[in-house]
Amino acid sequence: MNKTAIIYLSKTGFTEKYANWTAEKTGGGVIPFSKAQKSSDKIMSDYDTLVFGSRLLGGKIEGLSKAKKLFYTGKKRFAVFVTGATPNDGAADILKQMWEQNFTSDELVKIPHFYMQAGLCYEKMPFIEKQMMNALKAMLKKKKKVEGIPEGMSEVLGNSFDNSDKKLILPLAEWING
């Protein structure tokens, strides 16, 4: 039987929510990244499939470099899922660019990767990130169109929102169970 560890890094709760939904659907174990780092040898011996989930922050997948060093050996099944405020629909170019910025061309082929729209939670967001978001909102209000950012994003970024959808885990769950 395939044993799956769903390792997640979550600041505002969205990635943790998706990790738990995926575990419910697949029977996998959920492990916070901070604990997984401390017990990576045990995880590598106890699990056949390793899934790393994190958030998108400024175009980067937070913690991905460390996760690949710890868990991507080529000997275990390994996948990545990412959560963010970018809509799933109509943002294919943005998401393609994000994947290309975070993976080598070889990794893009070998590591299954999944995106799940989540939202923004200003209440749980670290102070410096709130400041970054305020700066982005101000820039977007001044300009009608900014390359790589969908039109109307300044209004969307104004408040906390949650567009999480349990159905978005289905491709990842199929990969885990397949």
Query: If we measure between CA atoms, which residue out of 42, 28, 34, 40 comes closest to residue 72?
Result: 40
**Which pLDDT belongs to residue 167?**
96
Which tokens in the block code for residue 68?
């690949």
Q: Express each pLDDT in 107-147 by its tens digit.
A: 999 999 999 999 876 777 777 777 777 676 676 667 655 55
Which tokens in the block code for residue 136?
């982005």
Greater confidence (40 vs 89) lies with 40
**Statement to judge: residues 61 and 134 lie in one domain:** no
Q: What is the pTM of this model?
A: 0.83
**Statement to judge: residues 84 and 94 lie in one domain:** yes
**Which pLDDT belongs to residue 171?**
97
Domain count, the chain: 2
**Statement to judge: residues 98 and 111 lie in one domain:** yes
**Statement to judge: residues 22 and 98 lie in one domain:** yes
**Statement to judge: residues 131 and 117 lie in one domain:** no
Domain that holds residue 109: 4-121+161-177
Tell me 152's DSSP state: T
Q: Express each pLDDT in 61-84 by its tens digit.
A: 999 999 999 999 888 999 999 998
Strand partners, 84: 117
Q: State the average pLDDT for the chain.
A: 86
